[in-house]
Structure formats: C-alpha cells, structure tokens
Amino acid sequence: MKLWSGRFTKQTDKLTEDFNASIAFDSRMYTQDIRGSQAHAAMLAKQGIITPEEGEQIIAALQAIEQEIASGQLEFTVEAEDVHMNIETFLTAKIGDVGKKLHTARSRNDQVALDVRLYLNDEIDSIRALLLELEASLLQVSGEHLETIMPGYTHLQKAQPITLAHHLMAYFEMLRRDVERLDDCRKRLLTMPLGSGALAATGFNLDREYVCEQLGFHTISRNSLDGVSDRDFAIEFCSFASILMMHLSRFAEEIILWSSDEFSFVQLDDGFSTGSSIMPQKKNPDIAELVRGKTGRVYGDLITLLTLMKALPLAYNKDMQEDKEALFDAIDTVKKCLLVFAPMLTTSRFQLDNMAEGARGGFTNATDLADYLVGKGLPFRDAHAVVGQAVLYCIDQQQVLEDLDLATFKQFSDKIEDDVYEHLDIMICVAKRKIPGGPAPETVKKAQFEAAQWLERMQNAHK
C-alpha cells in the first residue's frame, strides 16, 4: 500500500507505477536522503515534536538502513516510487509506528529539494578536485616547455610565434575561471529548503536554522514557494558544466589537429589512443574526440533543465522529477572527461622540432619586421604595407623573410639595416614580448609562479 493512498479507492495502474517511479535514477541520493532525515529527526526531537527517545531510535535505524543498502541487504522497489519513500518504508518496517513519525512537518517537495542540493554539493567536491588536478597537469607540462617554440594561429592560419608553455597556460586561465564559476555556483546551492513543506511551510515550531547548521548549509530559504520550486542551482551547475566542456572541447580539438600527420605536433600515448578494425597503421585520438562529442551531451542537459522549468507555475510540479537525470548526466559526464583528460595530456609527447619548424613557416615574424620599421621612424600603416610587399615577394620566390639579403630588403625600404636579422629570429621575436600576459619565457615563468600560488590556495580552500 502506498504511503499516500488514504484518499484513493483503487490501486495504482502498473503502467502509472512504472511511469511515475524515479527510483531507477534517484536511488543514488540515498546517503543524502538519510543524512537529511537524521537532521530532521534530531530537530523534531529538539523541538519536542517527537520524544528524544523516538528521535534517537529513528536516527539509529536510519544509520543501520544506510549500511544495509550499501552492503546490498536492502533493495529498492518501484512500488515505493522514489528514494524517499523507499527509505521511509524500510524505516517503518524496522521500527514500526515510530518510523511513521519521521515525515512530520515535511513534504517530499522540500525533501527532494534538500537531497538534490546535498548530492550536488558532494559531487562539486569531486569535480573541483578533478578540475584542480587538470590545472596541476597543465602547469606541469607547460613548465617543461618554456622555450618550446610553436606557431600561434588566428583563423587557423599561422600568425605569430609563441611557446607551447604560453599556449597551455591559456587553457589554465580558462579552467581557472571554471573553478571560480564552480565556487560561485556553490554559494547559491547551499541554501537549505527543508521546512518549506509542500509549498506553505508548516504550523509546527521547527528550528530550521538548527537543521541548516547540522547539514552544513550557509543559509535557509526565505520563501517556502521558492524553496520547493527553485532549480536555479541545478541550471547554474549545468551552465558551469557546459562552459567547462566547451573549454575541454577546444583543447581536445587542438590535440586532434596536432596529432594529425599534417601538423605532427604531438604523439598521443598508446594508452590514450585506439586503432582501426581495418587499417593497421591507424592511431586515433578517440579520447579527445569523445570529450569533444560529450560536450554536446552536456549542452543538452542544460537545455533540458531550462526547457523543463521555463513555464512551470508555482510551486512544485511533477515535471521537476525530470531534473535529476539531466543533472546526474552532466555530473557523470564532466567527471569522466576530467578523469581521463589529465593523464592523456601528461603522457603526450610533443614533437619539438616539428613545432619549431612550423613557427618558422607562414611568415610568423612579419609583424616583427613591421615593428622594426616603426622603430626606425616609419608610421605603422606604412610599415604594414612595406612588409606586405616583402611577404608577397617571398611567396613568389619561395623564400622566407630572414633569407632575403640586405640589398633585396632595401628595395622595399631604405630604413632596413643589417640589424634587421636579429629582429627576425623566431626566438627573439618571442623573447621580446615580455609585457604582462605575453609569451616571452620570462613572462610565462612569472605567470606559472602566480598560477602555482593560486592553485595551492584553491587546493587548500576546502581542506
């Protein structure tokens, strides 16, 4: 018999039972449901709504139930619909009528709102740790390549020379913002909704602040209607997850390009590559491709939640049961991608000669020649035109700028002197870009030092 069946005159149809049940996916929140119920029971006893003995009996029984679920001694059933009613059924079977008192001054509406927040908070801890591990990996690999020259690109065309360290630190900055977004998301997540009831709170004298403190929340919800119907925190998390996955996808795309024969900038480790069932020579960047592909999946989870909530009247509606599968999928997908990305990166072998050769092609030092002419007194726009003509000449002659002799250079501008060649050296082109944010090795080294300090602060923030 359903725990809510008092006003019903017939049993639920089997099709309705299967369609309505959420236990198949919300069972993963059983530890959070039990934790919330224990805090609720302790508060009921503290307020004299149940006796201290009843509170202790409920709390102890819930602890035993948690252990029995973990060990496989108890199995969830569709008949009990969801994780909340399954656990309440176990509790009543274990301690009888005292177990029926647990749901006093509580609704499944504020109970599920509580459980999802508790669950997401626990998962954020895991995701944050994985994100910081990837940041540490980026810092490690970039530290090994302070003077590894490579071409920088715009429009996927060679633009100016940079270092691999500088390139990798760009992703460090993206992920740094993701960590900050995740921490900011948690600020609004840690609002305690229990006590909101179904929608209109309760006439019992609850101590909501006590439950808030027991469960580690920062504050209580200020409006009972909003307390049960708010899923902004889930949408905000999926927004964070989507932005993070966009960053991982961009990185994955570059790894895929760099590992191609056309680039040959990186060799992925065999442990993070796959082969072809027909072509014996193939070594495919499937892990990076899957990260790129799973990004769309997480975007879908965000759109699911936004669409789900866009037209719901206050307060709770059964539509909101659909929030959990999208949220859980985003959590699971992000964790899997972060877990595999760091070792894929640290085991990769960068082809330093190919990267340096790539930087020497495509006239990546053309801007430096223009800057050289500016230093000789030529207005930048005039210098730009002069260098454009020199590049066109080199293309026709199949040469590069640094191979031109001085007499040829002077055909384009009489301001060019012998000292031009040192300004065209690719390493010097990079080294002189030493303003904050630039790719010069000494600048990147300072950025890495600051990044290491930030990373240490973040790693210690929740210890």
Does residue 362 come out as left (phi exceeding 0), alpha (psi in the -120 to 50 range) or beta? left
The CATH H-level superfamily of 5-104 is Fumarase/aspartase (N-terminal domain) (1.10.275.10)
- The Cα–Cα gap between 388 and 366 comes to 8
Name the catalytic one among 84, 155, 167, 423. Answer: 155
Per-residue pLDDT for 10 more than 80? no
Whether 145 sits among the annotated catalytic residues: the reply is no
Q: Is 423 tagged catalytic? A: no
Residue 2 pLDDT: 58
For residues 274 and 286, the answer to whether their CB atoms sit within 8 Å is yes
305 has a pLDDT exceeding 60: yes
Residue 24 pLDDT exceeds 90: no
Q: pLDDT value at position 396?
A: 96
Tens-digit pLDDT profile for residues 112-136 = 999 999 999 999 999 999 999 999 9
- Tens of pLDDT, residue by residue over 53-87, are 999 999 999 999 999 999 999 999 998 889 999 99
Which part of the chain is CATH 1.20.200.10?
109-145+153-205+216-357
Provide the Cα torsion 23, 222, 107, 24; round to 10°: 0
Catalytic residue among 5, 218, 260, 276: 276
pLDDT given at position 109: 96
pLDDT in tens, 356-385: 999 999 999 999 999 999 999 999 999 999
Residues 6+ apart with CB under 8 A from 152: 158, 159, 160, 161, 162, 167, 364, 439
Q: Which fold has domain 109-145+153-205+216-357?
A: Fumarase C; Chain A, domain 2 (1.20.200)
pLDDT computed for residue 80 by the predictor:
87
Q: Which pLDDT value is given to residue 369?
A: 97
pLDDT value of residue 398 = 95
Residue type, 93: A
Q: What is the mean pLDDT of the chain?
A: 95
Domain with CATH 1.10.40.30 in the chain: 360-460
Give yes or no for residue 47 having a pLDDT over 70: yes
- What number does CATH give the domain 360-460? 1.10.40.30
Q: What percent of the chain has pLDDT over 70?
A: 95
- From-to residues of CATH 1.10.275.10 in the chain: 5-104
pLDDT at 23: 85
